[in-house]
Structure 1
Amino acid sequence: MTLSRRRFIRNSAAGGVVLAAPALIGSVARADDGPIKLGSLHDLAGPLAATGEPMVYAIMLAVKEINDAGGLLGREVELINYDTQSNIQLYSQFAQQLAVRDKVDVIHGGITSASREAIRPIFSRFRTLYFYNTLYEGGVCDRNTFNTGTTPAQTVEKLVPYAMNLWGKKAYIIAADYNYGQITAKWMRKYVEDNGGEVLSTDFFPLDVTNFGPSISRIQAAEPDLLLSAMVGGNHTAFYRQWAAAGLKDEIPIASTTFGLVNEPATLEDAESRGVLGSYGYFEELQTPASQAFVEAIKSEHGAQTPYISELAAASYEGVHLWAEGVKKAGSVERMAVIEALETGLSFEGPSGPVVVDPKTHHVTRNTFLAEVVESRWNVLETFEQQAPLDTAAVCDLEANPNDTTHYIIDI
């Protein structure tokens, strides 16, 4: 399990495309001896590489800890990772490869909601258990899928009123132009209006956009009290540089649901990041013993240049351990046995605190935190203990409807 980043990327590079013959559709036969296989689909190249890299490191750490403790059911856990290179087509290709050729027992993967929705139907088709360990817009209701990241009711609901109480009632929203950004912008609007505020306008940007001059001019002309950002990926980091260069950083402050996931506090100048507010299910700066041990284990293995260890890494680590708890309780890696074990409300004490499976939604109840950037680091201001995924719970009940596989657009 000890791999340098360069060697790891080389060893997890693309393989061939596997096309399913009709006879293979359905449950894929897996060996009941030998290693238990855990598949991973994450971006180690492209605009989302700095996000995907610590997620993979966290999965590697969890697998190592499980194997050091004797494995599962007396068997070693083998990690098989493919670098999806921020490319949706590769997600689809490697998802099928993991399910059909590699015959993995579980898959942890996906960063953007677009990547999740490209691969989730493949795993349902081939009866392969799937964990999505990324904060997202909420609404996935699928018995074959477990979601360990936060949803808007757990974080955005805390962030927006806090920012409005500090800065004012008039908000302007900017967001990535795909389903995460579009739906999160609706949640932002809801929480602004619920707290007596007004959204002046909303701008959406494709992930490859790096020039924000025209939008910055529009925002300045609108004269909002605050800016709410759901920008995504390395290219969108350019917005914050251009915002500060335009002299607007101190004039119109920013609260974001995504700032920091690609290490913006450290990669931007202090003047460009200072004072930004964020809310997540984990911050690297948490000073609990479990958090400090988690961060130290990853950085001691992969070096000081490891990208920021965000909620996405913590949720990936916690997701692997939750799956392992399901295997232990089930006494099997068989998909339905593990699903039923997890649905008993299993929990794991992770770097973010207790993470508990909600049987009705297959999401988790978890601690969330609100923080401010100070001197290129997050300063945690408030902790909200054991927040439930109430948004998804409003549309999803897998106990009543176990065959549901819908990604609901929650009525906001």
Structure 2
Amino acid sequence: MTKLSRRRFLQSSAALAAGSVALPYAALADDDAILVGGLHDLSGGLDTSGIPMNQILNLAIDEINAGGGLLGRPLKPVIYDPQSNMSLYSQYATQLALKDKVAVVHGGITSASRETIRPIFHRFKTLYFYNTLYEGGVCDRNEVTLGTTPAQTVEKLIPYVMNLWGKKVYTVAADYNYGHITAAWFKRYVEENGGEVIETEFFPLDVTQFGSTIAKIQSAAPDIVLSALVGSGHFGFYRQWAAAGMKSRIPMASTTFGAGGSEPIIMTPEEGDGIITSFGYYPTIDTPANIAWKEKIVAAYPDNTPVLSELAEVTWEGMMIWADAVKEAGTLDREPILEVIESGKTYDMPAGKVSIDPKTHHAIRDVYIADLKDHEFIIKEKYSQVQPADTQMVCNLEEDPNANVHHEISLN
């Protein structure tokens, strides 16, 4: 098992961030190359998530090319850095679709970025893979969603931690659609399991100080704090929580902590140990497929090894599923590729078995619960082939293949 030290992570991240200033760029390749778009935050508030996703995207392209490419042609990455800026997301998405004319795009991290670029790719029929966990509800045949949704993770996490710790819950979440909708799912599942959410607070992504909130939580004395905080600004909450002496008093679970991979490495065990999460991938999955994949990554990036997380691993899945569909379809035309993706194939991935639900284009996948200890997540539970049941409530692409909407799923 490969373990990345905090010092090495910080050095790697600094080097990668410094190396991204020349972007956007298009790597040199043959004139007949198949263009693959990458649109991840390589600088800005979410670069610690975007940089590993971009590394894995490029590694997947290199592996496909080493195997002969697709349709007898090499793949060529076209990479842009939107810098966590929605205007740049819109600009680069339009450029990828109309000027670069890429065959596929892998990109977006926040739901705000996805909803900025998804309608652009839908309009111009540029196939789009969203490789990030999110709140559920996208119904768009042009998008394939590999990340987990609340029905896959929150539904498992909440009864697990309530069983351990109690029924009175305090929620802290990011102040945008992901945070608000996930907080609503928290409330739904807490109440279904006989508990109560006594308070919910939302924080803009640039908020970095949480002293008043920590004091409020201390006064409210919940049994559990549930976090759906997002990004480098919100990272301060966990450190301030530990510094205030609260970590040993009130336990915490999260749907986002470690999602991008960096927090468990940056934080000391005194700050991070004991936080419980649920994701579709952990680097500690002990299978031959995952061990071999990690070894491949270290060999490719010996000096700047990416921190692995669900976001990085499902980026690999997205590339490999798209490449498999191109091979089977024998064409880059969108419709035959989508028909292969919708055929119900099961793929063996580092995270486990993955298939695409044809009604929603969301992944049916294995889900895990894990407890952080000494910078590593120790897996406690595995749930096999969990359906994206939340999105299935509102989306049926077989009945409406022209759908182009993000449903805010009603929890009433």
- What range is the shorter-chain TM-score in? over 0.9
How far apart are 1:51 and its partner, in Å? 0.4
Q: What is the match of residue 9 of structure 1?
A: 20
Matching residue of 2:323: 324
* 1:56 aligned residue: 54
**With structure 1 as the length reference, what TM-score do the two structures score?**
0.92
Assess if the C-alpha contact under 8 Å between 1:138 and 1:152 holds in 2.
yes
Please give the alpha-carbon distance, in whole angstroms, between the structure 2 residues aligned to 1:85 and 1:149. 21
Following superposition, the deviation at residue 356 of structure 1 comes to 0.3
The alpha carbon displacement at 1:47 in A equals 1.4
Other-structure match for 2:334: 335
CA distance in 1, matches of 2:303, 2:213: 36
What amino acid does structure 1 have at the position aligned with 2:313?
A
Identify the residue that residue 409 of structure 1 maps to in structure 2. 408
Count of aligned positions: 392
Cα deviation 1:82-137 (Å, max 9, x = unaligned): 11111111111100011111010100000000000000011011111100000000
Contact 1:322 1:346 (8 Å CA) reproduced: no
Residue 302 of structure 1 and its aligned partner are, at CA, apart by 2.2
CA distance in 2, matches of 1:336, 1:99: 17
Unaligned runs of 5+ in 1: 16-32
Q: 2:81 aligns with which of 83, 88, 98?
A: 83
Separation in 1 of the partners of 2:386 and 2:17?
Answer: 38
Cα distance in 2 for partners of 1:397, 1:325 equals 24
User: Contact 1:231–1:258 (CA<8 Å) still a contact in 2?
Assistant: yes
Which one of 87, 92, 95 corresponds to residue 93 of structure 2?
95
Aligned partner of 2:378: which letter?
N
Contact 2:25 2:79 in 1 (8 A): no
2:354 and 2:279 map into 1 onto residues whose CA distance is: 14
User: How far did 1:330 drift?
Assistant: 1.3
Aligned counterparts of 2:178 and 2:345: Cα–Cα separation in 1: 28
Match of 2:218 in 1: 220
Corresponding residue of 2:355? 356
1:255 partnered with 2:253: yes
Specify the SS of the correspondent of 1:9. coil
1:188 is paired with a residue of what secondary structure? helix
Match of 2:159 among 149, 152, 161: 161
Deviations 1:168-209 (A, max 9, x none): 000000000011111000111111001000000100001110
Following superposition, the deviation at residue 36 of structure 1 comes to 1.1
CA–CA distance in 2 between the matches of 1:9 and 1:251? 42
Match of 1:283 in 2: 282
Q: Which residue of 1 aligns with 2:208?
A: 210
The match for 1:366 is 365
Residue number in structure 1 paired with 2:395: 396
1:184 equivalent among 182, 185, 189: 182
State the distance in 2 between where 1:185 and 1:48 align: 21
Please identify runs of 4+ aligned residues in structure 1 that moved more than 3 A.
Answer: 4-8, 303-307
Q: Distance in 1 between matches of 2:107 and 2:138?
A: 15
Change (3 A) 1:330 1:14: closer
Displacement of 1:304 in angstroms is: 5.2
Q: Deviations over 1:17-42 (max 9, x none)?
A: xxxxxxxxxxxxxxxx8111110100
The CA distance in 2 between the partners of 1:159 and 1:286, in whole Å, is 18
TM-score normalised by structure 2 residue count: 0.92
Root-mean-square deviation over aligned CA pairs: 1.5
Give the distance between the partners of 2:182 and 2:88, measured in 1 at CA.
26
> CA-to-partner distance for each residue in 1:275-324, whole Å, 9 max, x for gaps?
00000000112121111222222233223543421000010000111111
Aligned to 1:294: 293
**Structure 2 gaps, min length 5:** 1-14
CA contact (8 A) 2:52 2:306 kept: yes
CA contact (8 A) 2:329 2:340 kept: yes
Distance 1:124 1:149 in 2: 19
Aligned match of 1:196: 194
- Tell me which moved more, 343-352 or 162-171: 343-352
Q: % of aligned pairs identical? A: 53
Against the structure 1 CA distance between its residues 334 and 132, is the aligned structure 2 distance closer, same or farther, given a 3 Å change threshold? same
Pick aligned residue for 2:127 from 121, 126, 129? 129
| Distance in 1 of aligned mates of 2:200 and 2:370 | 24
Preserved contact between residue 169 and residue 223 of structure 2 (Cα < 8 Å)? yes
- Choose 291-300 or 166-175, whichever is displaced more: 291-300
Correspondence for 1:24: none
